[in-house]
Structure 1
Amino acid sequence: MKIHEYQAKQLFREAGVPVPRGIVAHSLDDVTQAFQQLGGALAVVKSQIHAGGRGKGTFKEQPEQRGVVLVKSADEAHENAGRMMGNTLVTIQTGEEGKQVNTLFVEEGLEIARELYLGIVIDRESSCPVLIMSTEGGMEIEEVAEHSPEKIIREYFDVALGLLPYQARKMAFALGMEGKTVRSAEKFLTKVCQFFIDNDCSMTEINPLIVTGDGELVALDAKVTFDDNALFRHKNLEPFRDLSEEEPAEVKAQDAGLSYVKLDGNIGCLVNGAGLAMSTMDLIKLHGGEPANFLDVGGGATVDAVTEAFRIILADENVKAVLVNIFGGIMKCDVIVEALLTAYDKVGFHVPLVVRLEGTNVEKAREMLAASGKDIITAENLTDAAKKVVGTLQG
């Protein structure tokens, strides 16, 4: 689950991670009042969407307007906010479709002595979190990794212990910090790493992490993603979810207990089992097709689950054919076909449907399909199924 910058900074503040003073704004009047309330000569008005690159992003309706702007008066804040609020921001991470800005964050301006990059992710090879930092703050870390990999430093830490003080000082020295800034870094880095552990984050990024004129580290940005599988332990995070920022079909699938991810292809996939779903998509691509989704209905494919899965797949206008690939283990093939045929009648198909079955009671299931009289293409194995579904699109 992703959250907005202003929400991440609220959680940072509660965890003792230094952040600038800021006020969230949902209207133009809120922006004006926020600037006045902050009481400084400078403020930053920031678009709040679930995507990076906002500072370099542009609005479809206002190409000259950036997603993050520095303002020097309440009127200037109001004027910029008017071009941002309700408009579509396009960044390197949103794609050409962009995302609509419904919320702004007005933050105090700070004196910046240095800009750094900070990121924390789980390293799968070492099975522990890794703190990643660079002197190239404000830049996309992918660009730094490609052109200046020597400027990226890493420190692995234990989830039971967190980042230890000596590790924080090691990072600070590697980044060329001295004196008061080293002490600030020790506190900052240990706290932000503990935040990552305590909240079951999958990613925490601060870009830029700044060193102020007073030598203090402050999170000028905040991007946080939580592990969905651990959200049951963090009921306090539920209110932070913004459904308007999520793919509607994925939200609908989640509510129905389905694992669904929308993709860019035109062949819909309904499969039971994550590994089988991945294999199905691989074979579709191998034979010249493009999967339109990942969809795992799980081991207990009920009529309601299969029906909802079909509705979600067919609601995608890009879907021109559907491949059902089922391995009947816990759930018998004939029971699955019964659910499939019922769902077929409820939903109504307007695209070719290819079905491959294997497992318990598979012969009985194939007989049921043959006797149904429905326009369903059957396949003997997965390779055959992939060739047939791609073939329906190739004439």
Structure 2
Amino acid sequence: MDLFEHQARELFERYGVLVPEAQVADTGSSAREAAGKLDADRHGVVVKAQVKTGGRGKAGGVKLAADAAAAEITARQILGMDIKGHTVHKVMLARPVKVDQEYYVSFVLDRAQGCFIAIASAEGGMEIEEVAEARPEAVARVPVDPAEGVTDEKAAEIVAAAALPADVAPVLRKLWQILQSEDALLVEVNPLVRTADGAVVALDGKVTLDDNARFRQARWGEEDEGGDTGGLEAQAAEKGLNYVKLEGEVGVIGNGAGLVMSTLDVVAGCGARPANFLDIGGGASAQVMADGLSVVLGDPSVKSILVNVFGGITACDAVAEGITRALGQIRLTKPLVVRLDGNNAARGREILEANPHPLLEQRTTMDGAAQRAAELATAAAAAA
């Protein structure tokens, strides 16, 4: 479960990481009131969209307002925005700080190595992926043994590897404490800044909690976040679907995590970007297919949908029946490419052929289906 930025900020503050003074608002008038509490008429205020996705600044979801009146206008502009399929229902208003230097620090779980990785750079404030690609030597990656944790010695090792100032080390210790105590899979600060008066402050934060620890952790925001609640991922979770939002244009639905991951790779190899990971598991009933299609169709960035199913315990004819019935329950508005293989695949294809839909096409191979979905997405984007 990803936290909203204002929740991550509250968590940082609780564990002693310095953060800017901030308020949360869900209307223009409450934003003006919040800006007044932050003395915006003297210092201005930063208005930031609260959605569980990146790219807010590029999408116009982060703006500087000169005073409380401007904060109300700005908040009204940002509230209701759609940012990568997430509707903005709240904004965070934060007091600006004078930045002298910007850094990047994070701890993230590396399942392959069976440890956490500290990723740090003296060049924060931008996409760390771009920095790592252009100048990999500027980004330090230091393994952290979960049993040992971030000791004073480990924090000093991370600081030295990333060429960070020595006073960042205590912040690393506190961030690790958050990760460990809150059962987090990711704790990221970008940027971590040194202000003009020498303080080390977290200007932004991202925290992902481990849902497997739900039984022993009080979840953040499930009761009081109202309309957003994580956007499409929350909608899918309510329907019992394993869905992860990505940043592409081809919606992907498959049965089995391995098959879906392979499908994402094939779509990317065809020159398109997958818009999501959606695993319907072993069942493909009409309701499951309808739920899956409705979630994917709810993403405005999706231009085409690829259903890739390998029949096993659930035969392809049952999947085809599910798709046919699902199309009777929902309104298909985007091209749908279906590839069926495995148990009863031929019969499944016959069922779809006998129940044609103007937006549905079939392909017999995964490569062919992915290529066609990519072509349809490209054509739709060009026509938009």
Bin the TM-score by the shorter chain.
Answer: 0.7 to 0.9
Distance of aligned partners of 1:107 and 1:343 in 2 relative to their CA distance in 1, 3 Å threshold: same
- Structure 1 residue 138, shift from structure 2 partner: 3.9
Q: Cα distance, 1:316 vs. partner?
A: 6.0
Q: Structure 1 residues 314 and 116 mapped into 2: Cα distance closer, same or farther (>3 Å)?
A: closer
TM-score, normalised via structure 2 length: 0.73
Counterpart contact for 1:86–1:101, Cα < 8 Å: no
Q: Which residue of 2 aligns with 1:119?
A: 106
Map 1:5-24 → 2, pairs under 5 A: 5-24=5-24
2:88 aligned with 1:86, yes or no? no
2:341 pairs with one of 350, 358, 364: 358
Please point out which of 146, 166, 170 is paired with 1:159.
Answer: 146
Over residues 270-307 of structure 1, what are the superposed CA-to-partner deviations in whole Å (9 max), with x where a residue is unaligned?
A: 42123223434554565677766543211122221112
Q: Distance in 2 between matches of 1:30 and 1:196?
A: 33
Shift of 1:192: 1.0
Judging changes above 3 Å, is the alpha-carbon distance between structure 1 residues 68 and 141 closer, same or farther for their aligned structure 2 residues? farther
Matched, 1:31 2:34: yes
Aligned to 2:48: 47
What RMSD in Å do the two structures reach over aligned CA positions?
4.4
Tell me the CA shift for residue 8 of structure 1: 1.2
The structure whose Rg is larger is 1
> Does 2:117 align with 1:130?
yes
Kept in 2: contact 1:300–1:331 (CA 8 A):
yes
Deviations 1:361-388 (A, max 9, x none): 4455455556x45457555443455567
- State the shift of 1:193 in Å: 1.0
Q: 1:129-168 CA distances to partner (integer Å, 9 max, x unpaired)?
A: 2223333344543454455544443432122232011122
> Which runs of 5 or more structure 2 residues have no equivalent in the other structure?
380-384
- The structure-2 alpha-carbon separation of the partners of 1:138 and 1:306, relative to structure 1 and needing over 3 Å to count, comes to closer
Report percent identity of matched pairs: 34
- Name the CA distance, whole Å, in 1 between partners of 2:323 and 2:179: 43
SS in 1 for 2:106: strand
Aligned letter for 1:157?
V
Q: Name stretches of at least 5 consecutive residues in structure 1 with no aligned partner.
A: 61-65, 70-75
TM-score with structure 1 setting the length: 0.71
Q: What SS class does the counterpart of residue 7 from structure 1 fall into?
A: helix
AA aligned opposite 2:236: A
Partner letter of residue 287 of structure 2?
D
- 1:271 and 2:251 matched: no
Q: Aligned in 2, Cα 1:14/1:150: closer, same or farther, shift over 3 Å?
A: same
Closer, same or farther: CA 334–18 of 1 in aligned 2, 3 Å: same
Contact (CA 8 Å) 1:129, 1:158: kept in 2 or not? yes
Q: 1:243 to 1:155 in 2, by over 3 A?
A: farther
Cα distance in 2 for partners of 1:221, 1:320 equals 32
For residues 64-94 of structure 1, give each alpha carbon's deviation from its aligned partner in whole angstroms, at most 9, with x where no partner exists: xx7246xxxxxx53134134212149xxxx6
Q: How does 1:254-269 map to 2 (within 5 A)?
A: 254-260=237-243, 261=245, 264-265=248-249, 269=252
